Amino acid sequence: MKNKSIWINKDDNDIEDSLEENIECDILIVGGGIAGLSTAYYLKDSNKKVVLIDKDRIGYGATSKNTGKLDYMQGLIYHKIEKNYNKEIAKIYLESQKEAINEVVNIIKKNKINCHLEKVNSYVFSGNINDEKDFNKEIEFYKDNNIDYKIESSLPISYPSSIVLSTNNNYVFNPYEYMMGLKGIIKDKIKIYENTKCTSIDKKDDYYKCLIEDKYEIKAKYVVCATHYPIFIVPFLIPFKTEVQNFYIGAFQVNDTKNISILSYNKPIISMRYYDKYFLYGRRSHSSSTDLDIRKDLDCIKIEVKKYWNKDIEYFYHTNDIMTYDNLPFIGEISPNLYIATGFNKWGNTNGTISGRVIRDLINKKDNKYIQLFNPKRGISLDKIKNIPLYNIKVSTRYILNKINPHMNYYDKNVKIKFINGKRCGIYTDDDGKEHIVSNICPHMKCNLIFNYVDKTWDCPCHGSRFTVDGDIIEGPSVYSIKIKEE
């Protein structure tokens, strides 16, 4: 089994420089995932000097590990937004998702990006007949908004379901190939630096000072933080307003293919699609603070794929996404000239794309009908913030439990937590008997890290940072490693 994403089938050999001097620019985009690249795409023709940096290679973040759906049928989301706000807001969200899909399709066609784009019918199903009420509310919304839908008698694959709803004009693609296409389009006009990690973004008089590995400095008038999870806590206090959710994908070879995209409404969430000669089976969204042993998720996927397709999985990969309390992303200005694009609620291919248009218009002081909708500082009323205490209870419970029980019940003997010189360390002993010792404390908000046996990494159950067994950062929000410093 390959423990990696199915999308990155060949490496991009075109490695960009890493920053090795102090520079100045008008607009700095931090993060080269779908949100950062889309923002760069829409700003490439402005008369401003734009720089894009990524701590890693471009396109290796969460986007390269998603399911590659470009779908406006996002579960039964519209009746939920209607409940949180009203019909009009739900309608504008639908328009934003359709606009994003059209944009991506047009960019692909205009620039001839080879990224396995296919038009698909989308299906949302439930195995629980009690969900019928929610399906009916969603259908009401579809009727009001002239969405062409069908109530189906079953799914187009052999998989159990009680209620099935379908829409058309959705798409699937290979998100990594799409990002490499965007990179190719922008790189003549925008300077890209890879392996260039931003460690802080500080407001000075009329500019931002962004430190790179605490060595170099980028001075920029505008900064777009498109790092998936914003790397700073203040301003905006994102850790207290969002939840990080994990989701797992297994892929296996099949003999047929269909232009379909399937998502379950009832839990565990199941997300399915075909890609080339493969079938992707995504399973179970849950808070990163609960159910810590990823081996169980891998086993469930293996068992279910065997049961329904009689196959073994060839790829297994996972990532997380940031969930907001009201199903709408956070895209916009949070401090003068500082922008975020995050909280995509597992729909980053569309919301990352629309981020680029919204942020371009905010910087250029132009109107955009989605500015208010996605405004990160939108007013929140008591009934809408009920998820916030739940998010915080889950994270703080995990924070406390991990402090109390350092050894974690599921650890095998090759993983130990030990106090060395008064510091809590994590020790992983590899197959050759070599010990890898790192700090067990996440530099982001001091949560204790847990060991991920599938990837052999140390993962933060609070906000999703991940580290290698030797302490290097794989994913933020942490910007610092967990290597033990020589004293």
Ligand X SMILES: Cc1cc2nc3c(=O)[nH]c(=O)nc-3n(C[C@H](O)[C@H](O)[C@H](O)COP(=O)(O)OP(=O)(O)OC[C@H]3O[C@@H](n4cnc5c(N)ncnc54)[C@H](O)[C@@H]3O)c2cc1C
Interface with ligand X (CB under 6 A), residue from 79, 228, 286, 394: 228
Backbone CA torsion sign across 393, 282, 295, 477:
negative
Interface with ligand X (CB under 6 A), residue from 63, 161, 264, 468: 63
Closer residue to ligand X, CB minimum distance, 29 or 438:
29
Closer residue to ligand X, CB minimum distance, 61 or 426:
61
Instruction: Count H helices and E strands in the chain, helices first.
Output: 9, 24
Q: Which tokens sit at 421? A: 């010189």
Residue whose C-alpha is closest to residue 11's, from 193, 250, 177, 197:
177
Interaction residues for ligand X, span 196-215 (CB under 6 A): 197-198
Task: Kindly state whether residue 328 participates in binding ligand X, applying the rule CB under 6 A.
Answer: no
Least distance (Å) between residue 318 CB and ligand X: 6
Residue 121 CB neighbour total at 10 angstroms: 18
Q: Are strands 69-70 and 23-30 parallel, antiparallel or unpaired?
A: unpaired
Interface with ligand X (CB under 6 A), residue from 12, 16, 54, 131: 54
Interface with ligand X (CB under 6 A), residue from 23, 25, 27, 66: 66
Interaction residues for ligand X, span 275-314 (CB under 6 A): 282
Task: Kindly state whether residue 239 participates in binding ligand X, applying the rule CB under 6 A.
Answer: no
Closer residue to ligand X, CB minimum distance, 118 or 437:
118
Bridge partners (DSSP) listed for residue 118? 172
Interface with ligand X (CB under 6 A), residue from 6, 19, 28, 35: 35
DSSP-assigned states of every residue in 2-35: B-S-SS--S----PPPPP-S-EEEEEEEE--SHH
Task: Kindly state whether residue 55 participates in binding ligand X, applying the rule CB under 6 A.
Answer: yes
* Half-sphere exposure (Cβ direction) of 325: Cα atoms closer than 13 Å: 22
Task: Kindly state whether residue 250 participates in binding ligand X, applying the rule CB under 6 A.
Answer: no
Closer residue to ligand X, CB minimum distance, 282 or 332:
282
Task: Kindly state whether residue 56 participates in binding ligand X, applying the rule CB under 6 A.
Answer: yes
Residue whose C-alpha is closest to residue 269's, from 123, 75, 431:
75
Least distance (Å) between residue 111 CB and ligand X: 19
Rg of the chain in Å (alpha carbons): 22
Least distance (Å) between residue 418 CB and ligand X: 29
Interface with ligand X (CB under 6 A), residue from 32, 239, 426, 464: 32
Least distance (Å) between residue 208 CB and ligand X: 14
Rounded CA-CA distance 383/235 in Å is 24
Least distance (Å) between residue 70 CB and ligand X: 7
Burial of 484 (0-12, 13-18, 19+ CB in 10 A): middle
Interface with ligand X (CB under 6 A), residue from 339, 344, 370, 428: 344
Annotate each residue in 467-486 with x if it binds ligand X (CB under 6 A) or - if it does not, as one string.
---------x--x-------
Interface with ligand X (CB under 6 A), residue from 19, 43, 62, 294: 62
Least distance (Å) between residue 5 CB and ligand X: 10
Residue whose C-alpha is closest to residue 308's, from 416, 159, 113:
159
Task: Kindly state whether residue 31 participates in binding ligand X, applying the rule CB under 6 A.
Answer: yes
Rounded CA-CA distance 138/156 in Å is 21
Residue whose C-alpha is closest to residue 26's, from 58, 50, 42, 1:
50
Q: What type of residue sits at position 283?
A: R
Strand order through the sheet with 423-429: 415-420, 423-429, 435-439
Closer residue to ligand X, CB minimum distance, 417 or 449:
449
Interface with ligand X (CB under 6 A), residue from 264, 319, 368, 440: 319
Q: What type of residue sits at position 146?
A: N
Rounded CA-CA distance 478/464 in Å is 9
Closer residue to ligand X, CB minimum distance, 69 or 415:
69
Least distance (Å) between residue 106 CB and ligand X: 17
Interface with ligand X (CB under 6 A), residue from 8, 61, 426, 448: 61
Rounded CA-CA distance 182/89 in Å is 30
Binding residues for ligand X (CB under 6 A): 30-36, 53-56, 60-63, 66-69, 197-198, 226-228, 231, 247, 249, 282, 319-321, 344, 346-350, 352, 476, 479
